[in-house]
Amino acid sequence: MTGPGAPMTVLAVGDVVGADSAEWLAGRLPALREELGAHFVVVNGENCVVTGPNPMDGFGMTVEVVDRLLDAGVDVITGGNHSWDGPEVEGVLAHPKVVRPWNLEEARGRGVLTLQNGDRVLTVVNLLSPTAALPGMAAPQPRPLWTSWTELAETEELPGAVLIDLHGESPWEKASVATALDGQISALVGTHTHDPTLRGHLLPAGTAYIAELGMTGHLGFTGGGFDPMHFAARLRGEDHMRLPAYELADGPLTLGAVRIEIASDGTATAIERIA
């Protein structure tokens, strides 16, 4: 981790679920960015559209929704296990402001992106835990996280403040990675499980950490933004592939997000929830 050049404010937004949720976020973002004084906005968009009837790859992104979010003020869109889903995957992964998990054998797309705003520099890294890559999904199987980070740090330039979006199931795994990288990165934010963890943490050597940003979308069902009937069917040992596509929730909209303050030496000084 090197200094970002000047103190910065980063707004990190968790999994956007559904195209209307993406539109809601896009409409709200200009005022929110100004209110927070955010120099960078990082959004996980892997669930922003329902892309097809197959329950295993029912989410993903489209170029149109990606462009809408970027036009509204998003600086980079991260992904996860659904980064390879949908009919527009080639165009989405080729987009210069979209990153997909770095730790896979995959020629398409990029897993690291460095952003600059004046004299402020932020490098965003996307990683995928093996816990979030289910058999039968289009996502390639990820390499182990620590091996991947070691390789990444040795082979890629990571200038400025470094923020990792770690897409995975286990909060203990995310906490372990954040602790192992404390002082080497400015922030680690967890995504994938959709239900937000309440507290963010400032680790002893200056890394901001939160286990789960939470989803951005409609509340309802169990709070993940869609009906988890496929997960329940798998639990019962049933063939969930015979079920209809995911049904999105239609309750009130919620924002899963945090504001992170980073000092000129790359040390995080604050992390707080934004509703």
* CATH code of the domain covering residue 93: 3.60.21.10
Looking at the chain, the number of H-run helices and the number of E-run strands are 6, 15
* DSSP one-letter code for 246: P
**Which pLDDT value is given to residue 53?**
57
Q: How many domains are there within the chain?
A: 1
> From the CB of residue 94, how many other CB atoms can be counted at a distance below 10 Å?
13
Task: Kindly state whether residue 116 falls inside one of the protein's structural domains.
Answer: yes
Give the SS3 label for residue 56.
Answer: helix
Tens place of pLDDT per residue across the chain (275 aa): 678 989 999 999 999 999 999 999 999 999 999 999 999 999 999 999 876 655 555 688 999 999 999 999 999 999 999 998 888 999 999 999 999 999 998 889 999 999 999 999 999 999 999 988 766 567 778 999 999 999 999 999 999 999 999 999 999 999 999 999 999 999 999 999 989 999 999 999 999 999 999 999 988 877 676 667 766 667 787 776 776 767 776 889 999 999 999 999 999 999 999 98
Range of the domain at 100: 8-274
Task: Kindly state whether residue 2 falls inside one of the protein's structural domains.
Answer: no
Amino acid at 177: V
Q: Select from 23, 18, 15 the least CA-distant residue to 126.
A: 15
Task: Kindly state whether residue 153 falls inside one of the protein's structural domains.
Answer: yes
Task: Kindly state whether residue 3 falls inside one of the protein's structural domains.
Answer: no
Task: Kindly state whether residue 110 falls inside one of the protein's structural domains.
Answer: yes
